[in-house]
Every structure is written in structure tokens, then in C-alpha cells.
Structure 1
Amino acid sequence: MLKTLKTYIGEYKKIAISAPVFIVGEVILEMIIPLLMAAIIDDGLGAGNMSYVVKVGLIMLAASFASLFCGAMAAKQASIASTGFAKNLREAMYGRIQEFSFSNIDRFSTAGLVTRLTTDVTNVQNAFQMIMRMFTRAPITLITAMTMSFLINARLALVFLGALVFLGCVIFFLMGKVGPYFREMFEKYDGLNASVQENLTGIRVVKAYVREEHETEKFKKASYALYLCAVRAEKVMVSMMPIMQFTVYTCIILLSWLGAKTIVVGGMTTGNLMSMFSYTMNILMSLMMIAMVTVMISMAKSSAERICGVLEEKSDLTSKSKFTAEKEVKDGSIAFEDVCFSYHGDKENLHLSHVNLKIQSGETIGILGGTGSAKSTLVQLIPRLYDVTSGSVKVGGVDVREYDLEALRNEVSMVLQKNVLFSGTIKENLRWGDKNASDEELEHVCRLACAHEFIEKFPKQYDTYIEQGGTNVSGGQKQRLCIARALLKKPKILILDDSTSAVDTHTDAMIRKAFREEIPDTTKLIIAQRVSSVQDADKIIVLNDGQIDGIGTHEELLANNAIYREVYESQQKGGDMDEQQ
């Protein structure tokens, strides 16, 4: 885990090293000050030598300012290094997530990934900063102060040694108990974030069904679960401070009593006792710092494990070496050769079973089937969003696993079942298909997708701002914009996954007509619920429970396929009833 994390310190390594160097300077200067103070008391005030007091006092003042400067520089360097480290971690995780296949993403909840990018990184950042400052300062201060104390009076210094052993045992015991609570707490954070995300994403449905009270109650449960877990952790940690204070006061009492007796018998001077008191506070404050940092490290350890889980996750889909990968898709021909597929890699529970299929470049293919028949699963294997469990999928005569992933996906445009638009103008959304597209090209693809007409009605037309998720346009408008965006890629294969369900039959027909006339060489796969959307296709594939139940033209399937005939007749009856009404 540490080996993984330390690589992301990156360009901040020198700054991260300089912070402890300044800390060492600060500690050394601080340790000199009690000795100077003892000299003032014993050799200056005790001897009545005021010039000596002034001289040593000025040296002590200079040492104080130098210590202050070193402390300020250490704080500045540690802040820069820890913030940069957090930046690198977030960028690395975000980049890794972009490389994930769908199956990788399925292993992490969306809320869990958000928590890792925010709360978990912040915990690791704070721990890293504390390690550079307090965890460097505390041991050095502790060792230096203990050494100085033993040099002044070894017998009195044994008090500190006993306190050190006692507090070390307490800290070790408490850390062992509190660690599991912190791990559980971050899982509760995931649940809380999931509740918020789900509510905000589906806020229109929540309000439409008047379920605000239900959602509030669900959030309260998630929040209360986090509260209970945090309380359990705090109950363990709350005992640390009283124990440390008890140890501090015990040390001070013992030092006062034993020190007074030593002075009486002439074993040490008053100045030395005052120095011992200063070192006492340094030693005990160091122990408290170590305890605080240990708590933070324990919390950060749980966060670091979750972060490394993302950073070390290997994508299920790996592109071939740039020297061996196919970089050009010859044409839009598609072949499924004995393809079996399971989302969980379980060969006993297949979602697609022994699919054999050949599609010629430029053909229009309709895909029909009931809910759960694996229509979307079938087409997601073409751009290699998932890899087959067995068999092979070929595009342009080459197994998709032999292509460079970017080269393959640049030639396959896919309009998913769930249409997604991003915050930005219509132009910016469309240029996801081609970032260098001209305004004329944007208008052309929008005309093909029957989107130009409604865009012109907006006051700002193509500069109209689309809210996050496309909430300020209708479902049909969103679908047409997504189709236009896909067309702008000029792909060899175009996949429409139930992407015209929200448009009327006339607009649907106009879009299909534009496809036939404008992109005849592009292979078009159209998943639809309406028979009318696919009946003029070159071939129609009927899927049933992950298997091909029939392939043919509209007329052939009406004559030979019971599922297709049943769907067609039920839709015809529905259409007749609509006309009568």
C-alpha cells in the first residue's frame, strides 16, 4: 500500500523532504532555549551579572525567532506537498476510472468512488501533512528532550521513561480497537453519499410521487448509521486524553517532589530543575502529538486501503500493444462466432448463449426481443464495452480484442438506452462526436436526426445551454441530440439502443429515411420495441432469453417466427384501437 501511494508524491518529493529538515532545525533551536534559560538563572541572576543576562537573553531571542522561521517554513512546505499529493491521487484515481471497463465499474458503487475521491483522499492528505510535521517533530523532540534530561539528571529522567512505556502501551491498545470502527465508518459514508446521489438524480420522480418524506427518512437512517459508527470510534478515543493528562500531571508531581529533594541535598541547581520542567512539557507534548498522529494514521489507513483498491484495480479490457494492435477498421461488417457471455464470467449462468451471426457492411439490422432478452448485451460486445466469455466478435474481419481500443471505438457510434447529455451548450455536446466539427456539419447531422427544427426555436439556438443530464430538454429532444452526436463521428457502425422510443412514429420514420439516404455505407443496428421502427431493415434479429430465435426480413419472420408475429399482431391491434378512439 505504501509503495503504491508514495509514487504519487511525484514532483512534490523535494518539498516533502524539506519540511522535516526545517522541523529538525526548529526542534534543535527549541531544545537550546531551556539550556540558555538555565544559564540565565544560575550564572546570570544567581551571580548578579546583568550583562551576562542581556547577552544570553539576546541569544535566546534570536534562537526563538530562528525556531519560529523554521516552524513557519515547515508548515508551508508540508501544506504544499500534502495538497499536491492529494491532487496527484485524485487525478490518478480519476484517470484509472476512465480506463475501467463496465465490469470494473460494476465492482465499485458510484457513491463509493465519490467518497474515495473526496473524503478518503482528504484523510490521507491530512495524515501525510501530520507525518511530515508532527510525526517528524514529536520523535525528534522526544529523543532530544530525553537525552538532555538524562544529561541533567539521569535519576529524575527515569520518570519520563516510565511514562513513555505506559503511554506507548495505551496507544497501541486503543489503535487496535479503533481501526475496525474507522473502516466501517467509511462504508457508512458510501451509504450516505449513495442516498444523496440517488435522491438528487431522481428528484423529479420523488416529487412526482410525493415521496419526499420517504427519502428524508432513508437519508436519516443512513446518517444515523454513520453517527452510531462514529460514536463507537469516539468512545474508544475519548479515554486517550484523560489518560495522557493523568500521566502529565503525575510526571510533574513526581518531578517537583524528587527535584526539590535533590536541590536540598545539593544534587542539582534551580536552573537545572527549571530546564527539566521545560523538557518535561516537551516530552509529554511529544507523546500527545504521537497519539494524535497515530489516531489520524489509523483513520487514514482505512482510507488509503480504499484508494489503493481503485489505483491497483486492473481493467478487464486491455488494448493490444501499439506495435501489434490493429489500428484501422476496414469496414462495418460484424460477425459473432459461437459467442457466449456472462456478466460475472460464470459459464453456467449465461446471458448470451452460442450466438452465431454475420452482418454485411452497410446493412441495416433490426433487433427485437422482450425485456431481459439480452438485446443491449449483444450490441455492447461490438465496441468491446465487455469482452465475450467464449467465442469471438469480429468487426471488419478482425477479432475486436486485436484492435487498439481507441481505434475500434472511434469507428463505432453508440446511442445508449439511457441518453446522456452533459452540462454545456448544444454545440459543446454535439462536438463530443467530433471536437473539430464546423457549424455547418453540426447543422447537417441535426437535420438528419430531426433535431434542427426544435433547436432553431430556442432563443440561442445551437448556443442554448443544456443543464446537467439534459433536464431542460424533453426525452425526445434528448434522443435526437444524442443521435446527431453519434452521426458526427462518421462511424462505420452505428448502434441505436432503443434510441427513438421517445419520438413519434413520423419522426422515427424520417430519421430512418435519412439514414438510408445519407449513410448507406454505415452498418446500422437498431434495437427497438416498435415493429414499425425495424420492419424495413435488411434483416431483423429476434432474441429470446439470450439466444437468437429467428433472423429474416419482416415478411419472413411474420410467416416463420411466433414471437415476432405475436409482437406485430399485438401492436397492430393497439394501433387499430388508437385509431378507433
Structure 2
Amino acid sequence: MLIKLINRHIKPYWGLIGAVLALQLVATIASLYLPNLNARIIDQGVARGDTHYIWVHGAWMLGVSLVQVAAQIAAVWFGARAAMQFGRDVRDAIFHRVLGFSSRELNHFGAPSLLTRTTNDVQQVQQLVLMTCVMMISAPITMVGGIIMAVREDPGMSWLILAAVAALAAGVVLLIWRVTPLFGIQQTRIDNLNRVLREQITGIRVVRAFVREPHEAKRFEQTNADLTQTATSLGRHMSFMFPFVMLIMNLGSVGVMWFGGHRIAEGHIQVGQLTAFLTYLMQILMSVMMATMMLVFAPRAAVCAGRIMEVLDTSSSVIPPQEGVTELAGRGVLEMRDVEFTYPGAEVPVLDEINLQLAPGRTTAIIGSTGSGKSTLVNLIPRLFDVTGGQVLVDGIDVREIDPDTLWARVGLVPQKPWLFSGTVASNLRYGKPDATDDELWAALETAQAADFVREMDGQLEAEIAQGGTNVSGGQRQRLSIARALVKKPGIYVFDDSFSALDVATDARLRAALAKETNGSAVLIVAQRVSTIREADEILVLEDGRIVGRGTHDQLLASCPTYVEIVDSQLSAEEAA
């Protein structure tokens, strides 16, 4: 999965990777040449007292060092640029894939997990790409070149290199084998921490209302402790790495000095050659260490890449048509023919044999008990789900054959849970029509009975709105969401229990204003209160996913026991109040 992900998104940056490779090659050659120059200075300059030789080769050594430094800096710059742009592209790919998901896929992954995959997981893979550009390219070159140069200096001590590299590699392989499973556990526990934290922040009012702060604190502490335990275990394992590497390097140095001293005494090598051999050994071990560091990071990056590819390889259950209809000739006629919908894995359909028609200038209402399928029916209209049987048609065309942008432009949905985005009142109202004028915004606010409280806000249309609209009340959020749909002026309005947070007087004023504003459009109202829908041209009564009553308010009172039961229960509640 890691290789697949990198191959998919690194192609545009092969030029940068090529530049990094060339620069790392230059830097590595320079670093391998420096010990040889140093050995010459010691053996041929210092030993003979040749000052001119020392100055000339010292200047040459300085020049090579400057080339090495410049090449290394440039390689890191190009490598960082490639890695950051790679990360940007992966995040962009995840974002656009998630935008195309239906509610089914979003519920499968969950918002906290998608956030972690888009941020933390991408960062881990991005870090691996950066380390590959900075270290992994030069490590094998340094390792091979260092071995060749060291053997050239003294073949008799080459066994020391073999022993040191073998010991270092064995220790690191054992470490990787131990930590790889922990990386997968860590990412899962980061997901859990994000999920708990998101629930607690978004549900803080409920937490306080039920005095559950101690319980939620314990939940967070447990989740946090689980993540800390995994991270601590990883830290313990990783803490052995650098002391072990330093131990091998120091033992190697001692071995070179011990056996090298004897070989100098026997006349096989000179002091400069011993110095060069020792430097090459350190370079070889450092390159092994860099390679093993990559191997340590690779398992976690591989886990993250698998999680990212799981998102990128998931196709939406709502598939846009390849050549969708982009123009609708009608004014906004919605029809459902024998619609059936069953959730994946469910044995019983949520909706069954649903037939209805919305026409411009008519208001159709849906009422039913909780769980009767009202919101599911509404979600089928803008294709948040696709029907599992039957058809949903707009202006005579199946919604599955309509271009998504064309369909969404025709439908103005006010969801059951109104959501406002961080920004201003104006930016939220212009969400469906970016070029709307201020006059259009105020007209929509007047119809939605929201103009009065917006005028009282600091900045009016430019008043700040917090994420989710948490700085306004529930009723104000509903009215702003209704105004947002009105600004769009769609052919079909769908209000999914959008008046539940309004008082009776505001509800009545809003419905009267809406009737004038939407008289040329098809209107569908889903509601719990009979008072909200009693003036509708047609009322549908849902029970267990089926339409059990159809007609006006008076007709249903005479023919539908379920509707009579709903009316009686609400009248009783009002009388009790």
C-alpha cells in the first residue's frame, strides 16, 4: 500500500527527485573523497614536513567540503519541496474522494477517523518521503562507496566492517519486528482519542445538562491513557536504538584502533590510512543507521498508507452518471415511483412502495412517528442515498441520470440538523448563490423571520458565525438555514423538520411568509407538529416506511386512524400545557 500510494502521487515530482538524487550523489562523492585527502595530508605532508603540500591539499579539502555542504543543503531543499507537495496532493485526493462519498461511506469511516487519515496519517507518509529524499538516497551510496574506499586503504581490516554492519543490522531488524504492530495500534488509538474528544466538545451542552463531566473526564482519561501506554511502549523500544548504535560504533572504533595499531607497527599501513579507514567505518555505520531509521519509520508509514488507500480505494455507493443531464426543461416536478430503500445488512426495508408527486405551486407534507422513514425519504431526493428499488424523478428524469450539480441546483434542502459554517451571516447565506446581493439576503432573512435578530447582531450581515453556528440559538440556526435555501431560489424546496425549534407564533409567521415566497416552487415539508402542516395541499402519513394515509388535513381526520392518533396526542399535550 505504501509503494502504491507513493507511486500514485509522486509522478509529478520526478524532476525534483532527480535533482535530489544528483545532488546527493555529489555530496556523497565529496564526503567519500575527504578522508582520502586527509590521509594524504597526514602521510605525505605532515610526515615529510612539506608545508606547501599541506596548504595546497588543505585548500582542496576545504573546497570539496564547501561543495559537499552546498549540495547537501540544495538536496534537502528540493527533497522537502517534493515531500510537502506530495503531502498536499494526497490530502487533496482524500478531500475530493470524501466529498463524493454518500452518507453510507461517511458513516462507515466516521468523521474522527477521516480527520486523522487526512492529517496525521498523511503527515507520517510525507515524513517518510522527506527522509527518503534526505537520507535514504545517500545511505546506500555511502555504504557501498565507503566499503570500497575502506578496502582500498587496508583490505586486511575489512572483516571489522562486516562484523560491525552485521551486528548493527541484526539489532535493528529485531527492533523493527517488535515495534511494527505497535504502530498500527497507535493510529487506531489516535482515532479513538479524536472520536471521544469530538463527541465531548460538540456535545458539551448535553454533558453539562446531565452533570456527566466526571464520567466524560474518565472516558477521556482512559482513552488518553491507552494512547500514552502505546506511545510509551514505542518510546521504550526506540530508546534502545541510539545507545545500541553508539555501542557498535565505539566498539568498531576501538577495534580499528587496536588492530590498526598493530598493522602500523608491522608496516602494513600508515597513520593517515588508519585515520581514513576509521572515518570510512563511521560513514558506513552512519549510513546503516540512517537506513535502519528509515526502516523504523517505514512500518508506521505503511500502516498510515494502508488507512489512506482504504479511503482512496472506496467508491461511493452514489455513482455520478458519466454523461449526466445538465439541463432540466421543467419547473421542478418531483416524483417517486414505487420507491424502496433498504440499509446494507438490514432485513426489512426502511421505505417500501412510496409513491408521491411534488408539483410547482403545491405544498406536500409528510408526518409520522419517529423512525417511520421520513428523513430517509428526504435524503433520497438530493441523492445522499440511492434507492434500492423504484425511481426518484425530477422533471421526468431519474435523478441517477442527472448531473449532480444540476440536481443540487434544483433542490433546496434544509436539513433536520441545521449546520452553519464558520464565517459570517452573509457567507453562510451566499453558500448556494455566491453572487447574491445584500438586498436578496435581507429579503430571504425577512421571509425566514431572521431579519430582526440579524440586525441586532454586531456587524449585521458581517456578524461572525462560529463553526456549526454554536454562537446562535437552535431556532436562529434553523431560520438562517431556511434563509440560505431561499437565497438559492431552487425549483424544489425540502424542509426536513426545519421548524421544530421555533415557537408557535414564529412558526405561523414563517409559514405564511414562505407560502408567498415559494408559490412558484414545489415544496415538501417534513414535520412533527400538525399545526405546521395542516394547511398543506396534501399530507402523507408514514408508518413503518409505508404511506398509510394521503389527503388534506380534514380528509385524513375522517379516514386515517394513525393521523387522528397523532392529532389527538398533540391536542392533549397542548391542553395539558
- What is the TM-score with the length of structure 1 in the denominator? 0.95
Give the C-alpha shift of residue 11 in structure 1.
Answer: 4.7
Q: Do structure 1's residue 41 and structure 2's residue 36 form an aligned pair?
A: no
Cα deviation code 1:239-290 (max 9, x no counterpart): 3334333322332233223222222222212211111111111111111111
Residue correspondence of structure 1 range 81-160 to structure 2 within 5 A? 81-160=82-161
Q: Distance in 1 between matches of 2:250 and 2:456?
A: 78
2:388 is matched with 389
Q: Distance in 2 between matches of 1:162 and 1:482?
A: 71
**Mean CA deviation greater in 355-364 or 542-551:** 355-364
2:361 is matched with 362
Q: Do structure 1's residue 514 and structure 2's residue 513 form an aligned pair?
A: yes
1:188 is matched with 189
Is the Cα–Cα contact under 8 Å of residues 29 and 66 in structure 1 kept in the other structure? yes
Q: 1:241 to 1:518 in 2, by over 3 A?
A: closer
Give the C-alpha shift of residue 292 in structure 1.
Answer: 1.2
Cα deviation code 1:281-305 (max 9, x no counterpart): 1111111111112111222111111
Q: Distance in 2 between matches of 1:242 and 1:543?
A: 70
1:289 is matched with 290
For residue 488 of structure 1, give the secondary structure of its aligned residue in structure 2.
helix
2:339 is matched with 339
2:429 is matched with 430
1:302 is matched with 303
Is the Cα–Cα contact under 8 Å of residues 150 and 157 in structure 1 kept in the other structure? yes
Cα deviation code 1:359-388 (max 9, x no counterpart): 334321111111111100011101111001
Give the C-alpha shift of residue 488 in structure 1.
Answer: 1.3
1:414 is matched with 413
Q: Distance in 2 between matches of 1:526 and 1:456?
A: 28
1:448 is matched with 447
Which residue identity lines up with residue 340 of structure 2 in the other structure? Answer: C
Q: Do structure 1's residue 494 and structure 2's residue 493 form an aligned pair?
A: yes
Q: 1:342 to 1:329 in 2, by over 3 A?
A: farther
**Mean CA deviation greater in 127-136 or 291-300:** 291-300
Is the Cα–Cα contact under 8 Å of residues 5 and 308 in structure 1 kept in the other structure? no
Is the Cα–Cα contact under 8 Å of residues 5 and 305 in structure 2 kept in the other structure? no
2:269 is matched with 268
Q: Distance in 2 between matches of 1:49 and 1:443?
A: 91
Q: Distance in 1 between matches of 2:321 and 2:331?
A: 20
Q: Do structure 1's residue 405 and structure 2's residue 397 form an aligned pair?
A: no
Is the Cα–Cα contact under 8 Å of residues 359 and 521 in structure 2 kept in the other structure? no
1:374 is matched with 373
Give the C-alpha shift of residue 238 in structure 1.
Answer: 3.4
Q: Distance in 2 between matches of 1:527 and 1:308?
A: 39
**Mean CA deviation greater in 21-30 or 204-213:** 204-213
**Mean CA deviation greater in 194-203 or 368-377:** 194-203
Give the C-alpha shift of residue 329 in structure 1.
Answer: 5.7
Q: Distance in 2 between matches of 1:457 and 1:448?
A: 17
Give the C-alpha shift of residue 347 in structure 1.
Answer: 6.1
Is the Cα–Cα contact under 8 Å of residues 526 and 534 in structure 1 kept in the other structure? yes
Same amino acid, percent of matched pairs: 37
Is the Cα–Cα contact under 8 Å of residues 333 and 359 in structure 2 kept in the other structure? yes
**Mean CA deviation greater in 119-128 or 347-356:** 347-356
Residue correspondence of structure 1 range 115-264 to structure 2 within 5 A? 115-264=116-265
1:561 is matched with 560
Which residue identity lines up with residue 348 of structure 2 in the other structure? Answer: N
Is the Cα–Cα contact under 8 Å of residues 444 and 487 in structure 2 kept in the other structure? yes
For residue 393 of structure 2, give the secondary structure of its aligned residue in structure 1.
strand
Is the Cα–Cα contact under 8 Å of residues 33 and 60 in structure 1 kept in the other structure? yes
Report the aligned-residue RMSD. 1.8
For residue 311 of structure 2, give the secondary structure of its aligned residue in structure 1.
helix
1:52 is matched with 53
Q: Distance in 2 between matches of 1:219 and 1:330?
A: 54
Which residue identity lines up with residue 422 of structure 1 in the other structure? Answer: F
Is the Cα–Cα contact under 8 Å of residues 319 and 325 in structure 1 kept in the other structure? no
For residue 137 of structure 2, give the secondary structure of its aligned residue in structure 1.
helix
Is the Cα–Cα contact under 8 Å of residues 340 and 389 in structure 1 kept in the other structure? yes
Give the C-alpha shift of residue 313 in structure 1.
Answer: 2.1
Q: Distance in 1 between matches of 2:119 and 2:542?
A: 43
For residue 433 of structure 1, give the secondary structure of its aligned residue in structure 2.
coil
Is the Cα–Cα contact under 8 Å of residues 328 and 395 in structure 2 kept in the other structure? no
Cα deviation code 1:105-158 (max 9, x no counterpart): 112121111111221122112111110011112111111110111122223112
Is the Cα–Cα contact under 8 Å of residues 412 and 491 in structure 1 kept in the other structure? yes
Residue correspondence of structure 1 range 296-335 to structure 2 within 5 A? 296-322=297-323, 324-328=324-328, 330-335=330-335
Structure 2 unmatched ranges of 5 or more: none
Give the C-alpha shift of residue 554 in structure 1.
Answer: 1.0
Is the Cα–Cα contact under 8 Å of residues 337 and 392 in structure 1 kept in the other structure? yes
Is the Cα–Cα contact under 8 Å of residues 331 and 395 in structure 1 kept in the other structure? no
Give the C-alpha shift of residue 355 in structure 1.
Answer: 2.2
Q: Distance in 2 between matches of 1:449 and 1:488?
A: 11
Which residue identity lines up with residue 502 of structure 1 in the other structure? Answer: A
Q: Tell me how many residue pairs correspond in the alignment.
A: 576
Is the Cα–Cα contact under 8 Å of residues 383 and 409 in structure 1 kept in the other structure? yes
Is the Cα–Cα contact under 8 Å of residues 20 and 133 in structure 1 kept in the other structure? no
Q: Do structure 1's residue 74 and structure 2's residue 78 form an aligned pair?
A: no
- What is the TM-score with the length of structure 2 in the denominator? 0.96
Q: Distance in 2 between matches of 1:347 and 1:504?
A: 37
Give the C-alpha shift of residue 168 in structure 1.
Answer: 2.7
Q: 1:330 to 1:4 in 2, by over 3 A?
A: farther
Give the C-alpha shift of residue 208 in structure 1.
Answer: 3.3
1:531 is matched with 530
Residue correspondence of structure 1 range 21-32 to structure 2 within 5 A? 21-32=22-33
**Mean CA deviation greater in 210-219 or 399-408:** 210-219
Q: 1:248 to 1:461 in 2, by over 3 A?
A: closer
Which residue identity lines up with residue 367 of structure 1 in the other structure? Answer: I
Cα deviation code 1:172-200 (max 9, x no counterpart): 33323321110110010011111221222
Which residue identity lines up with residue 56 of structure 1 in the other structure? Answer: H
**Mean CA deviation greater in 326-335 or 502-511:** 326-335
Q: Distance in 2 between matches of 1:46 and 1:460?
A: 83
Q: Distance in 1 between matches of 2:384 and 2:217?
A: 36
Q: 1:437 to 1:326 in 2, by over 3 A?
A: closer
**Mean CA deviation greater in 233-242 or 59-68:** 233-242
Q: Distance in 2 between matches of 1:156 and 1:329?
A: 86
2:549 is matched with 550
Give the C-alpha shift of residue 310 in structure 1.
Answer: 2.0
For residue 9 of structure 2, give the secondary structure of its aligned residue in structure 1.
coil
Q: Distance in 1 between matches of 2:40 and 2:173?
A: 39
Is the Cα–Cα contact under 8 Å of residues 27 and 67 in structure 2 kept in the other structure? yes
Give the C-alpha shift of residue 490 in structure 1.
Answer: 1.2
